[in-house]
Amino acid sequence: MSDFVFQYDKNTLTTQSELLVSVADLRDLVQAFTIQDEVQRLQELHVVLSSIVRKNKLPNGSLVVE
């Protein structure tokens, strides 16, 4: 399993920021790490983070994983 790098826009968020994250988002996040195919795993992580960004009305790219 490759190491992914989680990044956030420090101009928009801090490590103390509170985000609205649904139980479904948490479930999807945990399940993403069980995906064997690395490319598919990364795509699923992008989808989950995009959902969290959208629900919190943050600018696109506020949360990313590479």
Exposure of 42 in the CB half-sphere (CA atoms within 13 A):
12
Mean residue pLDDT across the chain: 94
User: Does residue 1 carry a pLDDT above 60?
Assistant: no
Three-state secondary-structure class, residue 59: coil
To the nearest 10°, the Cα dihedral for 29, 31, 34, 39? -60
Return phi, psi of residue 9, to 5°: -75, 105
* Tens-place pLDDT, residues 49-64: 999 999 999 999 999 9
* Tens-place pLDDT, residues 29-42: 999 999 999 999 99
